[in-house]
Amino acid sequence: MTETREGLDAPTVPKLFVNEHTASDESNTVIDVNKLDVHYGTFCAVRGVSMKIKENRVTAFIGPSGCGKSTVLRCFNRMNDLIPGARVTGEINFFGQDLYAAEVDPTEMRSRVGMVFQKPNPFPKSIYDNVAFGLKVNGYTGNYPDAVERSLKRAALWGEVKDRLKENALQLSGGQQQRLCIARALAPEPEVLLMDEPASALDPISTLAIEQLINDLCKDVSIIIVTHNMQQAARVSHETAFFMVNDDRAGYLVEFDDTSKIFTNPNDERTEAYITGRFS
Amino acid sequence: MLRSEFHADLQKLQDDLMNLGSMVEKATIKAIDALKTRDLVLSQKIIEEDDVIDDIRYEIEARCEDLIAKQQPLATDLRLIIAIMHIVGELERIGDYAEGVAKISLAMGDEAPLKPLIDIPRMAQKASLMTRQSLDALVQRDVDLAITVAESDDEVDALYDQIFRELVTFMIEDPRTIQRATYLLWVAHDLERIADRATNIAERVVYLVTGELSKLKEIFP
């Protein structure tokens, strides 16, 4: 027999914080941020950020310097834990699990949420060892050569380095080094890849290679990219979050929406002013 | 180029579009005046001046392309440039219709119009007003005015239907009038198309302001 709610009061819905900045896509949420504040000592760097990062999508963070976009990104794999005096409040759930819960092992968690930085930072070791390092840290017990090859292929670097895996990684070009760092981050097969200005130190051709890679990788990795290059955000991302900085220098989220919407017809006039260069 | 220069260029582009609008509006009115007064010299001048309108159209389009390539405009800036690229084409076509009326006037030669021109000048006034209002709506970013333009198109269509019936009646009653009636029918058709083009401009204004592309006549039938 079908149960009916007729005559009953409406079911009680838990009164959750209503996120005004939800991107319109209906895919699964990977990272759910709720009222995030970040302090460095007494200084509030980020205030009141709430957003849902979608699975297998590319999410771009844009905004002026000091708006907190990198700080928010670094919260997603607890990089801020490493900074003395940093304090994170609010909630960040990773597939529904509290990232900042006491039982979460940050090292294990970082293998699931990889990170790539602005400046390529390979270790002064061989190309092979650089990729294998990401696996060793996490106690990988499988076939290393296979895993290294797989990661280098995913990072679109294999063809260029397969015959020189024992060479020092520092001999690679800047663009190749960055793809090596991506391969290293991909080795533990993370669900999320955080990229902080991954192409800003690269020439246009290497930049396009990274952008192509982002496009290919997002089929099975959720990517969040911080970029100062708005055209890059427009090219590579599905959703874009625009951050700004308050008079008290605290960063906050202004608008989070489909990238097409943000770059053609944003809802918020502050976004409009920023992306059209009328921001003062 | 600095961003401030880019925005100054964008403003200049819009100003030049307005000047072009003023040119085609005048061409429409003058073409009908020349038809009415049988001023063949003026008709010839309108045909020649259309070349200038065409040149300005391509110049504005080239400047839009240049700004897109060099400035990567976004949001309102992007929509304004896209709107200008469409509107400049609509204006150029309005100029062609005015030229079309002038050519009909020349084809008529010394022959007097079939009937006194009353409704056709009224149609021309309305179509020109729509052109001007659609461009005013652009400058003022005025969606309500753009909607008014779309609504006015029905009045022009109604006048066209009326003229059509009247001229067909002439032709049925006296087949010797067919050529002269057809000339006037072509003129009325050109004017009807000018009003349609003005409506297209109004739709682009709504797009510029709201970001929504839509047929105004479907929203406000």
pLDDT per position as a tens digit, A12-63: 333 332 333 344 445 799 999 999 999 999 999 999 999 999 999 999 999 9
CB contact under 8 A, A265 and B75: yes
Number of domains making up chain B: 1
Residues A260 and B64 sit within 8 Å (Cβ to Cβ): no
Mean pLDDT of chain A: 88
> What backbone phi and psi angles, to 5 degrees, belong to A255?
-155, 140
Mean pLDDT by 10 residues, chain B (221 residues): 85 97 97 95 97 97 93 93 97 98 94 86 96 97 96 96 95 93 96 97 96 73 50
CB-based contacts of B76: which residues, under 8 Å, 6+ apart? A272, A276, B208
Any B CB within 8 A of A275 CB:
yes
Residues A114 and A186 sit within 8 Å (Cβ to Cβ): yes
pLDDT(A8) > 50: no
CATH code of the domain in which B35 resides: 1.20.58.220
Q: What is the pLDDT of residue A152?
A: 96
- Residues of chain A with C-beta less than 8 angstroms from the C-beta of B78: 263-264
pLDDT tens, residue by residue, B51-107: 999 999 999 999 999 999 888 999 999 999 999 999 999 999 999 999 999 999 999
DSSP string, A130-165: HHHHHHHHTT--S-HHHHHHHHHHHTT-HHHHTT-T
- Residues of chain A with C-beta less than 8 angstroms from the C-beta of B210: 265
CB contact under 8 A, B74 and A276: yes
CB-based contacts of A26: which residues, under 8 Å, 6+ apart? none
pLDDT(A232) > 80: yes
pLDDT(A64) > 50: yes
Confidence band for A185, pLDDT divided at 50, 70 and 90: very high
CB contact under 8 A, B211 and A231: no
Any B CB within 8 A of A231 CB:
yes
pLDDT(A69) > 90: yes
Closest chain A residue to B79, measured at CA: A264
Query: Residue B70 belongs to what domain range?
Result: 3-219
Any A CB within 8 A of B211 CB:
yes
pLDDT(A126) > 50: yes
- Residues of chain A with C-beta less than 8 angstroms from the C-beta of B73: 276
Any A CB within 8 A of B79 CB:
yes
Residues A23 and A52 sit within 8 Å (Cβ to Cβ): yes
Q: Region A179-203: what's the mean pLDDT?
A: 94
pLDDT(A4) > 60: no
Q: What is the pLDDT of residue B2?
A: 74
- Residues of chain A with C-beta less than 8 angstroms from the C-beta of B74: 230, 234, 263-264, 275-276
- Rounded distance, CA B15 to CA A116, Å? 47
- Residues of chain B with C-beta less than 8 angstroms from the C-beta of A228: none
CB contact under 8 A, B79 and A275: no
Any A CB within 8 A of B2 CB:
no
CB contact under 8 A, B74 and A278: no
- Rounded distance, CA A113 to CA A223, Å? 10
Q: What is the pLDDT of residue A7?
A: 36
CB contact under 8 A, A276 and B211: no
Q: Which helix (H) or strand (E) holds A120?
A: none
Any B CB within 8 A of A278 CB:
yes
Report the share of chain A in percent with pLDDT over 70: 90
CB contact under 8 A, B72 and A231: yes
For residue B165, count CB atoms less than 10 angstroms from its CB and return exposed for 0-12, middle for 13-18, buried for 19 or more: exposed
Confidence band for A5, pLDDT divided at 50, 70 and 90: very low
Q: What is the pLDDT of residue B110?
A: 83
CA A95 remoteness from chain centre? 14
